[in-house]
Structure 1
Amino acid sequence: MKRIILIITVISAAIMELIDTSIVNVALNYMSGNLGATLEDISWVVTAYGIANVIIIPMTSFLVNNLGRRNYYIGSIILFTFCSFMCGNSTNLWELVMFRFLQGIGGGALLSVSAMVVYECFPKEKQNIASALFGIGVFIGPTIGPTLGGFITDNFSWRWIFYINIPLGILAAILCFKLLPESPTRQKVKKIDWLGIILLIIGIGSLQTVLERGETEDWFATRYIIFLTVAAVLSLVLFVHRELTIPHPVVKLSVLKHPSLSISAILTFITGIGMFTSIYLTPVLAQRFLGFNPAQAGLLLLPGSIIAVFALIITGKALQKGVPPALVVLLGFCCFIYFNWSMAQVNLDVSFATISINLIFRALGMALLTVPLASLAVSSLKPEDMPQGTAINNMMRQLGGSFGISIINTYIARRVALHRTDLISNLTPDNRSVMDRLQAYTSVFQSKGSGLPEAQQKAIALMEKIVVKQSFFLSYIDAYMVIGLAFIFVLPLLLFFLKRNKNKKIVIVSADH
């Protein structure tokens, strides 16, 4: 019974951390007005959390070994909970941003260490079930975050987005204090790689800031984006060189010499792109172009979420019975490719049901990828290297999301200009259908009391709005196609695992053993 309570506790903590990556997105307008900040500045509330997460996740193994898993995990829960309270009590933007960053530092352990604990609670022959259970949290968190955030903001206050973590955090800390054992593979490092830590913080922090703020700041037209880009490149190059050459690195990058981990990391990176960009694009598409309200946009994801929970469990059992993980990954990639291809075919008359069905394939893709990719990543690592391999794999998922959203935002901005030019080129006096529509709009405005010149100006302005809307819509559709192509592009990497499976059965092992 204690084992079951511990599993539920750490999975709930992971879900809480992942929900907080997206729960604030729908409340940014409210925060902006309440704190007297611009919409551009308030986006730092999202950026700060993401930067902290990506910095701390690759350091998980180092922190667990030096602080002890029990101390590090419980301390992280307390930090996350305290900062949630302080975020809710913030009286200005930069106070909120600071505590969101610290909240993200605490949240990093709730993802990586939770996975280790869940794996440890199951014997080796049932590791796929452990992966499936933890995968439920990985999938559910980012999916329900925007819906939950919208409900809380509409019915209470944006501050309750943070306050809701407090009772959950306190309960999790108490239960872990009573039930969580120390890691049996802890290897304390006597000499701490402080320079490596500093280079990692500067490199990843700068990179994340550039990715998340680049499009808003018009990329290299802004001086601080140029500075941070240079800082990111130099710091990460020095960091990689140092971690590969010193005896006790803060991040053991040498584990990437194992092809199973390096290839899985690339596949996980692409999965992160698909996972986070789909959650970003689809609600915006539904609300901005199809007229759905926030509640309807949230309900679009519900059928797929329910089906994915069962699919995750089935996937774990299938892998346990000997189904090759690479085949499951291939099927998951096919589901993602189909989802993006289907979304690239929709028009402004698409129904709620059609999008919801498309999202079921997206959910199935996530369910099929979560378990086997985690297993493949650590399949050839030594027991002492598995926590580091798991942390690197988790970091690649988060980086994939950051890269994906940044690239997609830039791509959409470029495509909008192109589509607008194409559409306007057809709006000529020779185009009979265009002139008929312009005349119809003019007549409508005249019937409402406008004179002919004013009615014609309003009709032209309306046509311009329609062109802009259609340009954005077509750009979003193009974005789905690009994401689908990214999945197709990396498919050949699966040949490594398929060939390997013919010669040697991949044994699924714990991420902490």
Structure 2
Amino acid sequence: MEALSTPKYPVGAQKWILIITAISCAILELIDSTIVNVSLREISGNIGATTTEISWVITAYSIANVIVIPLSGMLSNLFGRKTYFTASVAVFTISSLLCGLSTNLWFLVLWRFVQGLGGGGLLSTAQSIIMDAFPPEKRMTGITIFGLGIILGPSFGPVLGGYITDHLSWHWIFFLNIPIGITASLLSWRFVPDLEGVEKPLIDWWGILFLVIGIGSLQYVLEEGTAKDWFESADITRFFIAAIIFLVAFVIRELSIDHPAVNLRLYRNFNLAMGSLMNLVVGIINIGTLFVFPLFTQIALGWTATQTGAFMIPGTMVAIVGMVLAKKLLEAGVNPKVVILSGLSLTMLFLVIMSYSSPDSSASNFFWPFIIRGIGTVMMIMPVMDLAVAGLTGKTLAQAVGLSNMLRQLGGAIGVALMNIYINHENAFVRGNMTGNISEFNSESTDRLAAFIQLFINQGYDTYEATGAAYRLLDNSLTKQQLLVSYNHGFLFVAYTLLICVPVILMIRYKKGQKKKEVIADAH
């Protein structure tokens, strides 16, 4: 049991050094989850890897992340929060150096996996450190600070990666972490406190084994499913079956023993369960749309990676305004369901506007939709994060934070997988419909083809060459329109999917003036 004495909170400079150290580490971890994406082509060419092989640089990091995040609460209690957090920073920093020095694909994949293990420990432990730095009545400030980190990290990753790759080399994507990591290690050892009254837990080896195999297999399925054509692949089928079996075994195990690796009993409380479910949804929306937009602009509209990343910065920065607004509303006693539904409505508005994009769309057409998205996403994230850890402190807070972060990470993987499936299906469907309109019986298509042929003849091609070039140009035009329509449908698909969240949000139990300690009375 946790100590019943009055908890002590850091004050003054010590408090803010602690918070800056923790949020810097969380942002560093989140940046590294996306910074590599835009550099994969250069990395693969440099180390001689195929397009399929190089995807393991991302997959290894994601699998390690999602395995260690739910265990971070137990590991923090086992080794002490100061030791565990400092060790996580050190592991992340050393593996970053070794990633940058790698000259072989599988060495890079190995050290990315180790980096993911360190990074997973940083994310959840940083959140619990920040929240434990504030008394319950001021915890919304801690949630705001951490929320800023989870918005900034994934958004700045691609533009930072693009800039470094264009002006230095891909190695510096990893070397950049080293001075920050060394500084954070020293500050962590000096300022991060251990939790008081926490006994070393008994190690639930079976629970850990079931979780590692189950969640690792599920993440592999989500990361590699699209590339391997899902259940047409024997590997994907085997890993999916393993995920189901071991996750069911994990849940049964954790609910049937006195000292579980992950305390699932916390989610007997309805609001905590709803908050965690919404965390999954937020991950699907946030990462799913961040995944689609760069593909949409670069493939359908011809933007560069650096252009795309730079464009997203203003929408990210305005999220700070949304955080302040959400914080004020929640602290004023506004029903969190109203705040979440407002954020949901703004996010849906963003998606609907994006679904009307055209070949002539430019950055000016997307500026205000992304401002709306920045505010809307934050207004969803803030109350959801509060619900997911409502009233928890100490080791129970660390457990809930680990689970909620794992669900948000899984939500991101699910969002990317769903968008891949939908876009691929729409590409085939839209192209089939469009191709049917290109025939000798359609005057518009024959006029367009004749104009292309004449254009190439005027440039000196003979009739045979001009006809071939005209058909290729027509096919390129068709492909561009097909992709544009498919991505538009994808945005609209996500908007409609968000309607599923409405009944979940309405089921959240809330009474004005409700004390947070009452919120989790039935969680123990």
Provide TM-score, normalisation by structure 1. 0.96
Match in the other structure for 2:303: 292
Q: Distance in 1 between matches of 2:398 and 2:199?
A: 12
Match in the other structure for 1:165: 177
Match in the other structure for 1:435: 446
1:403 counterpart = 2:449: no
Give 1:312 shift: 1.2
Q: Distance in 1 between matches of 2:63 and 2:503?
A: 31
Pick from 94, 99, 111 the counterpart of residue 82 of structure 1.
94
Q: Distance in 2 between matches of 1:301 and 1:340?
A: 15
Once the two structures are superposed, what CA deviation does each residue of 1:277-316 show, in whole Å capped at 9, x if it has no partner? 1111111211222122223212221211121123213322
**Structure 1 segment 22-421 matched on structure 2, within 5 A:** 22-184=34-196, 186-189=198-201, 191-379=202-390, 384-421=395-432
Q: Percent of aligned positions with the same letter in both sequences?
A: 39
More off after superposition, 1-10 vs 83-92: 1-10
SS in 2 for 1:501: coil
CA RMSD of aligned residues (A): 1.7
Corresponding letter in the other structure for 1:376: L
Match in the other structure for 1:17: 29
Corresponding letter in the other structure for 2:108: L
Q: Distance in 1 between matches of 2:371 and 2:511?
A: 29
Q: Distance in 2 between matches of 1:141 and 1:18?
A: 5
Match in the other structure for 2:510: 500
Give 1:382 shift: 7.4
Asked if structure 1 preserves the Cα contact closer than 8 Å seen for 2:217 and 2:239, the reply is: yes
Give 1:221 shift: 2.2
Change (3 A) 1:507 1:347: farther
Q: Distance in 1 between matches of 2:468 and 2:270?
A: 63
Give 1:502 shift: 5.2
Change (3 A) 1:75 1:310: same
Provide TM-score, normalisation by structure 2. 0.94
Once the two structures are superposed, what CA deviation does each residue of 1:317-370 show, in whole Å capped at 9, x if it has no partner? 332222222221111111111111111111111121121211112211222122
Q: Distance in 1 between matches of 2:25 and 2:322?
A: 22
SS in 2 for 1:184: coil
Corresponding letter in the other structure for 1:173: S
Unpaired runs of at least 5, structure 2: 1-12
Give 1:184 shift: 2.5
Asked if structure 2 preserves the Cα contact closer than 8 Å seen for 1:127 and 1:508, the reply is: no
SS in 1 for 2:511: helix
Unpaired runs of at least 5, structure 1: none
Change (3 A) 1:341 1:185: farther
SS in 2 for 1:346: coil
Q: Distance in 1 between matches of 2:18 and 2:393?
A: 26
Change (3 A) 1:444 1:508: farther
Q: Distance in 2 between matches of 1:378 and 1:132?
A: 13
**Structure 1 residue ranges (4+ consecutive) displaced by more than 6 angstroms after TM superposition:** 507-510
Q: Distance in 2 between matches of 1:383 and 1:145?
A: 31
Match in the other structure for 1:451: 462
What is the aligned residue count? 508
More off after superposition, 56-65 vs 360-369: 360-369
Change (3 A) 1:226 1:355: same
